[in-house]
Structure 1
Amino acid sequence: MTTNIPPTSIVVEVLGDDNYDDWSACMKSYMLAHDLWDLIDPADHQEVDSKPIDHREGDSKAWRKKNAAALHAIQISCSPRILSRIRSIISAKVAWDTLSNSQQQHSPSHEVQSVESELSQVSGSVSNEMNGPLLTLYKHAHNGDWDATKNYLDQYPNAIRATIEPYGGTALHVAVSAGNLNIVEELVKLMSEKELEIQDNAGNTALFSAATVGITKMAECLVSKNPNLVTLLDEDKTTPLAEACARNHKDMALYLYSVTPVEFLCQDNGNHGSLFLQYAIGAQMLDIAFDFLHRFPYMTTTMDIDVVKSNPLIRLSAMPEIFQSASRLALWQQWIYSCISIEPIATGGDNFCICMPDRSVSGSKNITLQVLSKLCGFAINLLTFLGIKQIYDLKKIHIYSDKILRCMCEYISNLDHEEILEAGIIGAFHAAVKHGMVEFVIEMIKACPHHTYRLGNMFMSSVANRHEKVFSLIYGLETGRALFFPLVDSSSNTVLHQAAKLSPPSQLARISGAALQMQRELQWYKVSFVHSTSLKRKK
């Protein structure tokens, strides 16, 4: 008989220290229904067959299979902490008996008395096990029930700083992770600045959890009580600002950027600033990235040594989608793109600042502002429906990416040869060629003209990856043509070898139909052959 054990249909709640009676009743019913209970209590097994399977052949394959099924059902119905008690047991009956015996040592009355005793201590140290009253507090905070939470804290005031397992966070951590803003606001009123700095088992403060969730008002509530939270983190941990960017929470990132001291981002050799900048670029929060970069251009090549272990320039070189050369717009979209006018972005010594979202308008009593806000929202929705807003946003991204690239290249142009090699700039150059980023290649050639001797390998890369614009750009450089032939890579392949290989799948996918794809491949080979012959003749 095949026995399936669905992990979510055995018990209502996994076994803890306060629900053994309900758990055991559900487990017994389950095992009876699946013909497994005779393994736990042979005397209670009533079948027509006078010899149960475990009596007929104790070491049989069938018995082992049933024992494994029963043991697995018990294991997946226990909490991780309870499972640790029976992890090494291989008999379902022994596991059952072990849990039954341990229940006598963890009765509800014993647990409540233990937790109440700990809660009464002046230090506020509370049981680190999710049981008894602490489990109740967890549920109230998670469900957003402030009245129940308040009643609990009135009875056990020190529990507000308790760390609740298995995550090791406080009730505030629980409320933040569950997105219960009202509970967070009330708990913050009751907690001291020091209590807001409590970290969970992963080293995260409540502010870091808020950055993960993305509810900006939570962060505002926490920071207004304790501004130091934006810089409080364990070693090798990301900042709340970097976390908001990594999670793509734009409003949260804007707020945290406005309250995070730039001195903190620049300390430790700019490690935190570099990571934040890379995440901001990766999330296409280019207005924030440009604001920070134009104030601290040296962050272009500053390495993050703990998490990503890269720098913003390298990150930018792997994002062709934010540059205009990667756009694939229809004719009507190109026409709209050309007609859209975007206000110039301040640079250099201008007082550049990013716009923070205004959350006061919706709640304003000024009827005029409310009406204008509604009309503005209607206009935005209409533009979104027509696809114009997407084109506007795309053009804005292109403008910002161009500004960021120029800012980076201006800084790079002042570096010496050794600094360029240490910063991985050559690798970023190669990545840009591989991704067909024409704008990046142009600016890099302008910034590092003394490195044009490396263009030979990049020329071959443009052929291998089928980027015709980059191919034409590099080939058009008179100063570099003499270096292009003869060209061989590490496998002794020439440009013609690269042209003879099949295009990358991403390039082939842009052309519909095998016939057109074949035609395109032949064109690449012919062009490479003509240019190679021409270069050889000139040489």
Structure 2
Amino acid sequence: MSAIANRLHKAAIKGDWGDWDEASKLIEEKSVAVRAGITEYKETGLIVAVKSKKRNDFVKDLSEKMSALDITLYDTRNRTALHRAAGADNREITEKLVEMNPYLPNAKILQARIPLYFAATRGCEEMCDVGSTSRKKHGGKKELHNQALELVKFLCNVLCDEIADSNNSKAKKIFELALFQATSLGIVEIVEEILKSYPDAIYLVNEDNPSIFHHATKCRHAKVFNLIHQVGESRTIFLSQSDKLKNNALHLAGKLAPQQQLNLKAGTALQMQRELQWFKVIFPDSTRDKYLLIK
């Protein structure tokens, strides 16, 4: 590995693979080489190469062997390849890196400095345009929302592996905290992802609630409560369980909703109607949809 890293370092400085005819195959076989820190500051070959526009052809070739995640790697000074390309006023490579990873312009280093900072302090106006345009284009709430969900999926998979390997109680505790916090906030996507990744999470309890459905009732989050369909006929058992104050789900439905939920309906009459819906949904009757909230 050290020999490969050494040769990659020399090639990155020259911007040319030289007589290293087997470079492409070797890099592909040893893909870890493109992620390795090959200088005193643990810079990757890409970070070394982007510092000069003369090496752009080499950079393009090298970047083709890297993933969107690989190009986010940073050195011991917390600088990515984009920081270096922006600082070198290298628009061609800056655009290439942003195209590979649209979120790279948001990567911060020490003192919360993003690549745009490097471009601005060096008077590189064109680089500022690239960075700011990307931030406007990819910085919307929808993109951030999707990115957050991808992170949740990844973390869920990691925790599931921990539980599978050692029945890790700490991992279960993390699931419990995340599940009830997401329920408190009404973030049904996260609740769904946790239940999808770890189905047994539906049986998790905390100090105040015998199930997430009790907590959803208390917080008046209908979308989370409607996940009760996943437990089938066991829903009656879930809802009949009591918390430490001896309150079952019906008791919780009979309590006044949190003020922020009441405020979602204008007028006392509509607020009362909504509160009655919760009570009727949980109260046993013979209707087929007795557990489905009216939205």
TM-score, normalised via structure 1 length: 0.29
Query: What value does the CA root-mean-square deviation take over the aligned residues?
Result: 4.3
Q: How do 1:490-505 residues align onto structure 2 when only pairs under 5 Å count?
A: 490-505=244-259
Match of 2:199 in 1: 449
Match of 1:403 in 2: 150
Q: How do 1:446-525 residues align onto structure 2 when only pairs under 5 Å count?
A: 446-454=196-204, 457-478=211-232, 480-481=234-235, 483-525=237-279
Partner-residue secondary structure (3-state), 1:484: helix
**Contact 1:420-1:426 within 8 A present in 2 as well:** no
Q: How do 1:23-102 residues align onto structure 2 when only pairs under 5 Å count?
A: none
Unaligned runs of 5+ in 1: 1-226, 228-256, 263-344
Partner-residue secondary structure (3-state), 2:183: helix
Q: How do 1:27-426 residues align onto structure 2 when only pairs under 5 Å count?
A: 258-260=74-76, 354-355=104-105, 356=107, 357-359=115-117, 361-362=119-120, 369=126, 373=129, 393-416=140-163, 417-420=167-170, 423-426=173-176
Match of 2:11 in 1: none
Q: Distance in 1 between matches of 2:141 and 2:214?
A: 31
What's the CA shift for 1:366? 7.9
What's the CA shift for 1:448? 1.8
**Contact 1:412-1:447 within 8 A present in 2 as well:** no
Partner-residue secondary structure (3-state), 2:169: helix
Q: Distance in 1 between matches of 2:185 and 2:153?
A: 18
Identical columns (%): 29
**Contact 1:485-1:535 within 8 A present in 2 as well:** no
Q: Distance in 2 between matches of 1:432 and 1:354?
A: 28
**Contact 1:496-1:525 within 8 A present in 2 as well:** yes
Q: Distance in 2 between matches of 1:415 and 1:535?
A: 38
Q: 1:533 to 1:453 in 2, by over 3 A?
A: farther
What's the CA shift for 1:419? 3.1
Give a deviation string over 1:273-297, Cα, whole Å, max 9, x none: xxxxxxxxxxxxxxxxxxxxxxxxx
Match of 2:7 in 1: none
Q: Distance in 1 between matches of 2:285 and 2:148?
A: 33
Q: Distance in 1 between matches of 2:224 and 2:123?
A: 56
What's the CA shift for 1:532? 9.7
**Contact 1:436-1:469 within 8 A present in 2 as well:** yes
Q: Distance in 1 between matches of 2:254 and 2:242?
A: 14
**Contact 1:496-1:529 within 8 A present in 2 as well:** yes
Q: 1:360 to 1:408 in 2, by over 3 A?
A: closer
Q: Please, which of 177, 182, 194 is the counterpart of residue 432 of structure 1?
A: 182
Partner-residue secondary structure (3-state), 1:460: helix
Q: Distance in 2 between matches of 1:365 and 1:458?
A: 54
Which 10-residue stretch deviates more, 355-364 or 460-469? 355-364
What's the CA shift for 1:515? 2.0
**Counterpart code for 1:512:** A
Q: 1:479 to 1:440 in 2, by over 3 A?
A: farther
Match of 1:135 in 2: none
**Contact 1:502-1:521 within 8 A present in 2 as well:** yes
**Contact 1:433-1:470 within 8 A present in 2 as well:** yes
**Contact 2:214-2:252 within 8 A present in 1 as well:** yes
Match of 2:89 in 1: none
Q: Distance in 2 between matches of 1:259 and 1:430?
A: 38
Q: 1:421 to 1:532 in 2, by over 3 A?
A: farther
Q: Distance in 1 between matches of 2:213 and 2:181?
A: 12
Match of 1:80 in 2: none
**Contact 1:459-1:475 within 8 A present in 2 as well:** no
Q: Distance in 1 between matches of 2:159 and 2:272?
A: 41
Partner-residue secondary structure (3-state), 1:430: helix
TM-score, normalised via structure 2 length: 0.50
Match of 2:58 in 1: none
Q: Distance in 2 between matches of 1:504 and 1:259?
A: 48
Q: 1:489 to 1:429 in 2, by over 3 A?
A: same
What's the CA shift for 1:422? 6.4
**Counterpart code for 1:509:** N
Match of 2:5 in 1: none
What's the CA shift for 1:454? 3.2
Q: Identify which of structures 1 and 2 has the higher relative contact order when contacts are C-alpha pairs closer than 8 Å and 6+ apart.
A: 2
Give a deviation string over 1:321-379, Cα, whole Å, max 9, x none: xxxxxxxxxxxxxxxxxxxxxxxx99xxx999833523465577888x38x939x97x8
Match of 2:33 in 1: none
**Counterpart code for 2:144:** I
Unaligned runs of 5+ in 2: 1-40, 42-72, 79-97, 108-114, 291-295
**Contact 1:503-1:521 within 8 A present in 2 as well:** yes
Give a deviation string over 1:177-203, Cα, whole Å, max 9, x none: xxxxxxxxxxxxxxxxxxxxxxxxxxx
Q: Distance in 1 between matches of 2:76 and 2:144?
A: 24
**Contact 1:482-1:535 within 8 A present in 2 as well:** no
Q: Distance in 2 between matches of 1:504 and 1:402?
A: 27
Q: Distance in 2 between matches of 1:527 and 1:453?
A: 21
What's the CA shift for 1:434? 1.9
Larger Cα-atom Rg? 1
